[in-house]
Structures are given as structure tokens and as C-alpha cells.
Amino acid sequence: MILFISLLTLILCFLNYYFLYPIDQKLFYIYTSISILIFIATCIYLIIKNQKLKKDNIIIQEIEKFLKISSSTSLIDLKEKLKTSFELTQKQLQDQKIQNKLLQKNLQYLIQSFNYMRLENSITLKPILKKYQINTKTKNIIFKNIHACIVNDDMIENFLLQCILLDIGISSEIFDDFQKVEKKYSFIISKKKIKNTLNYTFVDVNVKDLINFLSTNFKEESYQIANLYNVLIFKSSSFENNLILNITNQFCSNNQIVDSLSDFKNALKLNFRLILVDYEVIKFDILHFTQILHEYKIQNSQNKILLFTKNRVKNCDFADEIINDISKNEWIILLKKYINQV
């Protein structure tokens, strides 16, 4: 390009010299000077432009290297490639967002399922359940003589559904296709509506919705149960109370301690699976408390009472077991025996 401009400038100078110089030398020098200035300005412009193009090419190469895209011929070409790359990245991020949402939902389902497995998990899972705003299970309703069919191909959802159903007394079987269902069930759980059968459909697993469906369609097969607590502890000192409570809380939840006779009598209004009472705290009114504990046993025959005493005692037949010494391991063995959390 510079060579072409140089040649053009020389031609102009020659023409000026050939036509103008014989006529007017002053005008010749003016035109010649203008031609040379135009030549110099054009050369400077081209040099600057070439330097800018080199810098642009370096930037383009760095961008291509960083983004791992093919070589571009110009900034316009690079712009199109960047646009395509951005759209692809945006789509990948959207897909990842959907995948993350699905993983989070599965995590919630798994945590909720584990909450149904063993009571002691409730303590460990409590902060996680709170973080993910997972509703804890309710165990105040039980169904009998109901057999459900789950038609779904999601293993985690099926696991949670079976845990929920088992927790309220309902047995179930799982199929990934309705065509494989051969026998008759009390009702069917599925995501798609199934005709000519009692059908509970869902998008996301929701305990309340499922309980409402069952309560509406199986009123005669359901019955209420009282809120059930695990262990009531009444020892002769606050230190012993707290020590045994801490050990118990590592094994199961819903436990309570009392430190007075009046609190103990009020606590007996609740339904505890296991009661540990120290003879030292009731011995001064043993007849009265023997009667109270007898009545408690009549009303809650499935619950157990352990009496702790270091001496031999009589007329304490309200107790299922009398113990005179207890270590941490021995207490856990008793919890496994009476709370049935093996």
C-alpha cells in the first residue's frame, strides 16, 4: 500500500514538474509540497493502522487461546464466535441449574427418608432438616389393612414414599410400569393419572398431601394415636438426670427429665415408652406413687418402667425391671431392649 502511494506521489510530482514548472515555478513548489505532505500523512496513518491491527490480532489470539475457540480472521468474526460461545455456555449453565435443582430435591428426599429410619437420626438431622425446610414426620395417624402400589421409575422418590407409607402402617410394592401390575391394590401412587382405579398422583413427594388423600379415602381404616415420647428420667440428682439424658439423646429423641414429684406426676400424663425412676425420690410417699404408676401401667400397658435402687425393695411390682447399678453401655443395652431401636 505504501509502495502504491509512493508511486502515485512521484507521478504527481512528475506531472507538476512537466506541466506547472514551465508556467509557474511557485505554484509547482506549492503542489509538490502538498503532495509530499499527503504522502507522509498517509504513510503515518497506514503505519498506525498496521500497529493497531497487530495489537488486535494479539488480543484476538489471547482471547481465542483463553476461550479455546478456533482462529478468527477479524474482530467481527471473533464477535460472532464469542456470541455463539456465550449462548452455548448460557445453555450449559441453564442445564446445570436444572441438574442442581434436581440433585437438591433428591438430597431433601434422602434426608427426609433417613428421618423415618431411626429416631436417633432426628437429633443429627435436625439442623439439616431446618436448613432445607423439610417438614418432620407426624405419627399421630395409623392406617390398617391397606396395601399400596407405587408406579414410578425414580428410586429416591420410591424410597421416600415407602418410608412414609410404612411409618403410617401401609405396606407397598414398587413397579416402574403400570403394565407390570398384576394384582389389585388398595390404591395406586403415580405421577400420571391411571383410570378406573383409586389413584394418588403427585409431582413432588408431599407428606401432607398424601395423608390428606388417605384420610379422605380410608377413614374407616385409620385411627389416631397419642403423641409418643421415648424416655422419662427421674433420678435423685440433677447431675445424674443430665448425664443419663445426654446418653439417651445420643440414642433417641423425644426424651425428658424431671426434678420434682409434681413435675413427675404431670409428665405421666404423656405417653412415654420407657420410664426410669429412682426409688430414693418416691420412697417417702411410696404407696401414693405405687398407685399412680400402677394406673399408668394399666392405661399404657405397652410402656415399661425401670426402678433404680441400691437396696432391696418390696411392693414395687409396677416396675418391669429393678436395677441397682448402671453404666453407659448397660443403659444403651436397656434402651435397645425397651425402645426397640436395634
From first to last of its 342 residues, the chain has per-residue pLDDT tens of 555 555 666 566 656 555 555 555 666 566 667 767 777 777 777 778 778 777 777 776 777 676 666 666 566 776 777 777 778 888 888 888 888 888 777 777 777 776 666 544 555 565 666 665 555 555 567 788 899 999 999 998 998 898 888 878 888 999 998 888 888 899 999 999 998 899 999 998 888 899 999 989 998 877 666 556 889 999 988 899 899 999 988 888 788 999 888 888 888 888 888 999 998 888 888 888 888 888 888 877 778 999 998 887 777 888 888 888 888 888 988 888 887 543
Same domain, 181 and 233: no
Same domain, 152 and 215: yes
Same domain, 293 and 326: yes
Q: What is the pLDDT of residue 231?
A: 92
Strands (E), 235-335: 256-257, 271-278, 304-308, 321-323
E strand or H helix at 286: helix 286-299
Choosing from 203, 224, 245, the residue where a domain stops is 224
- Give a yes or no: residue 289 inside a domain: yes
Same domain, 232 and 211: no
E strand or H helix at 217: helix 207-217
Domain count, the chain: 3
Residue 180 belongs to what domain range?
Answer: 140-224
Same domain, 335 and 238: yes
Choosing from 23, 40, 67, the residue where a domain stops is 67
Q: What is the pLDDT of residue 119?
A: 47
CATH of the domain at 171: 3.40.50
The rounded distance, in Å, linking the Cα atoms of 164 and 211 is 9
In the 8-state DSSP scheme, what is residue 270? S
Same domain, 232 and 316: yes
Same domain, 206 and 245: no
Q: What is the pLDDT of residue 270?
A: 80
Q: Which three cell numbers stand for residue 321?
A: 425391671
Same domain, 203 and 255: no
Choosing from 199, 224, 249, the residue where a domain stops is 224
E strand or H helix at 84: helix 75-117
Same domain, 217 and 279: no
Q: What is the pLDDT of residue 126?
A: 58
Same domain, 153 and 251: no
Q: What is the pLDDT of residue 342?
A: 35
Q: How many Cα atoms sit within 13 Å of 2 on the Cβ side? A: 10
